[in-house]
Structures are given as structure tokens and as C-alpha cells.
Structure 1
């Protein structure tokens, strides 16, 4: 097999340009059941379950790359990279809460550190490194020691990536469902390429790939669950966390990234599942996720404005098990 060029595996970070009403996270939050626990308790419970060592070898990376010779403002060709990967994720408690002093009101942030490592599934070559934190922003206390209502977005995730990206995603409390998650459809195709593109311009997304639904990667996550169910595994409970850089967060990129393939938004959805083997009674924790990063390059067809560029969704998915 030809050695894999690590420079072709793009960053797993970003911030977005699509309307929130059209987004995966908004769909899921609209379906969230009413919980009896407080936002702080729900978030703490999720962090406690997330803590530990995870491994998954069902990962897929789907990303469009500018072709050689093209420029960000050209109506150029692209190359679609579809890559299977394996991944380790280490999550640990960061220690005592950090205190943000705000005068009349202070904030106490409890955090969980994470360390992600991604490898080419076929060759074992290292592809991606990411370090960051999940943060519980819920605890606001005024000077009279009275607890204040939590902020609208009480969960945050920060991360740094050696491509030259730093992310900050925010979200609302995780929500809990009994049974398997209702993983919605998504599309890995750009939502708007303009008018007058060459015939078959997006055909690379239609080419069959063994093991992955390229056009709708979440169908592959659902298929993983279907295979498990057929083998006698039952999902007892699912905790869902939705994070988005467009929700008061953001992303900072080095100048090269901004110039050539800017990452403008990142969405991440985590499904933390309690699974039981119905044949043995054994239970274990499983983590599925979808991440969508908007990359911006190539002028939309029929457009002359150099700022009117195509948004290319960079999608990564995986199914992982706590070790």
C-alpha cells in the first residue's frame, strides 16, 4: 500500500457559516427530553462517565482538499479524501475547580482534560494529535454565596491542533434518553457550490466506498449499532452532548490556514451509551461521535466576489469503547 501523506489529513477543528436552524445540533436539542437534574448535575454526570481510556477502530475521515495548482479564490478542482482510522482518547479529571473572579459574581469551572491520538487504520501511521478540556461552566456564585442561574451555554470544549488551530465550542447540558440514540442524517456534500459547475463536479461523493456511507456518514454510525443489536447487544441509556463553535465560541487559525482552506466552524455531537450484552449480562460504556468542520475554499460557480467561497464539510465519525 502507498504510504499515507500525513499532510493530507486535515485538522479536526473549526467554527460555521450555515444557519443554526439547519444544523444537526439544533435538531437534537429540539428533541431533548425534560430532565429532573440541574444543568450542573447533568454535566458532571456526563464528565464522570467520559473519564477514562477509550479506543475505537471504526473511525472515518471525509474531507475535500484543494487540488494541486488551485487557489482559494479560483473555481478549481478538488480531491476527496476518505480515510479509515483508529483512535485513542484519554480523559481525566483536571482537579479542583478554577475560579473566575468577576467582582459581584464568581464562576467555578470544573474541567476534564482530554488527549486524542488518531492513527491510519491500515498502516498504523500517526495522523492527528489533539489536547484540550471539557469544562462545566454551570457554577455561578455571588458575593453573598447565593447560587446564580447557570449561563445559557454551560458546557465548553477547548482544543489545540498542531495544524495551527485552536477551538472553543459551547453547548447546553447533556440530555438523557432510555435506549439507543436517534442519530439523524447528515450530508458531507457542500450545501451550495453556486451555478454552472462542470457536469459531475461532485461525483467523487457518489463513488461507493466499502465500510462507509460517504454522503451520509451518520448512517454508518447507525449501521454499527444495528450490527451490535444483531449480535445481542442492547443499549440501555444514551447521554447526548451537543457542542458548537457558533454558540458564543470560535476558532483561531494561523495565517496559512486562513488563506488557503479556512476552518470557520466546528460542530460536535457525542452519544455516550451504556451497553449490555444480553447473552452474558456484562455492561460497558460506548462513545459515538460526529464532528463537522466547515472548510472554506474555491469560489462558488457563477460568482465573481472573492469572498463568496464554497463551504466544504469535513466530517469525522467513530464508535469507541471504554477500556
Structure 2
């Protein structure tokens, strides 16, 4: 049996106008930055991006790509939107706790890599708003409506509690939905061959999988296998899976060039984390059809951005006798361009990860 949401009353409206409920997003308010620009630090961001190689197109010369991987620093600011944002939808009322965000991502040479702004929304505040004598008179509800109609439904029960809408100047707009949970202890990340999981790699199965099979994963806590450094591969096996992806495995930022979130793991390995809030969001699969991405025509035609997943950890770190908030995130954006080794459309992961603390 579905529980009826709390009743909407003038008192509810007054309280929401005064102070919204921001839920777990309240912890985000402020400006977050990297604590260092030291290129050897694990407290830096990492991004991986695959791009169509100049001269290529999906119709005649597919499959060639340029791989970019860099450290970066970031300034990420969250600002409250005062008061609950009211969505009136008849028998249901919703108040959103909105938190504006703006981020600037800079490479270690001071060049802008990424700019984005948008909103995070806390969507947990649902109320039941039944018809009453006043609303029927004002809205000409009689004879279809009587006072009290809608008091028992229809009931809207969202399968998510948090959302993010963002605008990127490449010409893409994203809408994501998800949930949050509070977990004791520190986040857990894999080690060894367990880290060879294509859901989190900069190498996708449609890109050839680096010549691996499920029974022969690469141990990302060990040096890359010898074939990664075989300079004859481009000549002896120009279209082979190993040649296709060896530059990703021999990059200077290995293993983070292959699985970026391992730098998040390594950043916290010596920390004492008391508990953390985990926020997980996506544009399509886990939450169904509600989310999505819109692209400008040239992006939609040649390199459509089709899917985005995000994990965010808001961590309480015990350090020098104090509790400090720390923010870690991973977002994976899938591009589609050219054809894969199986003849189908290829998905190319663009991954960003970072560890941030509030600016003092």
C-alpha cells in the first residue's frame, strides 16, 4: 500500500518560503578546491578523453582516435537558492531544494579545460494538495470537483531523491537523477585484477578491450604488460586491439589513464574517514527514461554525447583531531563516434575524477 504524502497547508508554504530542505546537498555549500598543484600529488584531478582523429569520419575512415589524459585543478562553488522551489501539479505538490553550482577546471599550465554551471536539486519534499472550497471557486472546479477531492491520490512516489541539471559550453545540456545514502567508514575501491572493470575504464569493449578477455584482465596495480611497450605493433598489427589502445596503457599517468578513479582510492588510502554520503546519478539506465542529454547539431551529428553516470562521495575525514569535509567525484560521459571492432557504434568514455576540500 502506498503511503499518502503529508498534507499541504498554509503552514507548509510559509515554512518552505522561509527555508528549503536541501537534504544531503546542504553539505556542499561553499567553494571547493584542490589542496595542491603538485604534479606528483594524488590530490589532483584526472581526466581522460577520446576524440576523433583529424581527417576521419564515420563514413569512410573510422576507428582512429586521439587520446588525451591530464591532471587538473578545479574551483567548484555551490550556492543555495533561497526557499523551496514550488512545483504545482494538482493533487501533488513538490518543493525542490535547489543548489546552484559553477565549476572551472584548469590544467597544470593554467589553461581552461572545462566550464560548467547548473543546479543540484533535492526532490524529497512531496505533499498532497486536495481541492477545497476556495480553490474550486477560484479555478471554476464545480461540478467536476468537490471539496476534499484528491486527498487520497493519485499519489506520486518518485524513485529518486536528487537531480542535477548542467550546461556545458561544448553545446550539451544534461539532466540526471539518482539517490543518496549515508555509509559508515571509507569508500571502497578495487585492487589488482578486480579493477579491470569496463564500467570504469577509459577503454571500452567496443574499442577492442586492449586485447584482453574476461579470463585475462590486466592487473592495474602492477606495471603494464610488455606488449604495451612494443613499438613494432603499429607496423605489424596496425588494426589490432592491442595497437588500438596501447597508448592508453603506456601513458605517463598509468594506471589512472586506464582507470581514473584509482587516484581517488590512492588519495584516501592513509586517511581516517568516519563516514560519507554517497550520491549516485545517471541520465538513463538506473532511473529509466527521466533523464537525458541534448546536444547542438554538430555534436549530435558527429560525436553525440549519449550517456552520463556520476558518483559523488562527501566524506568526513578525521585529521589532526578535527573533522574535515572532503569531496570526491567520478563522472563518466559516453561519446559515440566511428565504428567499433564488432562493426557497431563505438562508445568512447570521457572520465573526470577529483578530490576537493573547502576553500579556506
TM-score (norm 1): 0.78
SS of 2:22's equivalent?
A: helix
Q: Distance in 1 between matches of 2:101 and 2:208?
A: 39
SS of 1:60's equivalent?
A: strand
Q: Distance in 1 between matches of 2:24 and 2:342?
A: 47
Aligned residues: 268
Partner of 2:272: 234
Partner of 2:185: 179
Q: 1:65 aligns with which of 40, 51, 61?
A: 51
Once superposed, which parts of structure 1, at least 4 consecutive aligned residues long, lie more than 4 Å away? 145-150, 194-197
* Aligned 1:276-295 pairs, distance under 5 A: 276-277=318-319, 280-295=320-335
Partner of 1:314: 350
Deviation at 1:161, TM superposition (A): 0.7
Partner of 1:44: 22
302 and 217 in structure 1: CA distance in 2 versus 1, 3 angstrom threshold = closer
Partner of 1:163: 170
Q: Does 1:296 align with 2:345?
A: no
Q: 2:72 aligns with which of 85, 108, 112?
A: 85
Contact 1:72-1:261 within 8 A present in 2 as well: no
Partner of 1:116: 103
Q: Distance in 1 between matches of 2:176 and 2:29?
A: 19
Contact 1:197-1:301 within 8 A present in 2 as well: no
Q: Distance in 2 between matches of 1:146 and 1:53?
A: 43
Q: 1:154 aligns with which of 158, 161, 176?
A: 161
Deviation at 1:194, TM superposition (A): 6.5
Contact 1:270-1:287 within 8 A present in 2 as well: yes
Q: Distance in 2 between matches of 1:49 and 1:197?
A: 50
* Greater CA drift, 267-276 or 100-109: 100-109
Q: Distance in 2 between matches of 1:114 and 1:60?
A: 20
Question: Rg bigger for which structure?
Answer: 2
Deviation at 1:137, TM superposition (A): 1.5
SS of 2:82's equivalent?
A: coil
Structure 1 vs Structure 2 CA RMSD: 2.2
Q: Distance in 1 between matches of 2:206 and 2:301?
A: 20
Post-superposition CA distance 1:220-260 (Å, at most 9, x none): 2101112xx1xxx4111111000101122000000111112
Deviation at 1:183, TM superposition (A): 3.2
Task: Name the structure, 1 or 2, with higher relative contact order (CA <8 Å, separation 6+).
Answer: 1
Post-superposition CA distance 1:127-146 (Å, at most 9, x none): 21111111011222122488
Q: Distance in 2 between matches of 1:298 and 1:167?
A: 23
TM-score (norm 2): 0.70
Partner of 1:134: 120
Q: Does 1:102 align with 2:89?
A: yes
Which ranges of structure 1 fall in alignment gaps of 5 or more residues? Answer: 1-42
Q: Does 1:263 align with 2:270?
A: no
Q: Distance in 1 between matches of 2:102 and 2:333?
A: 19
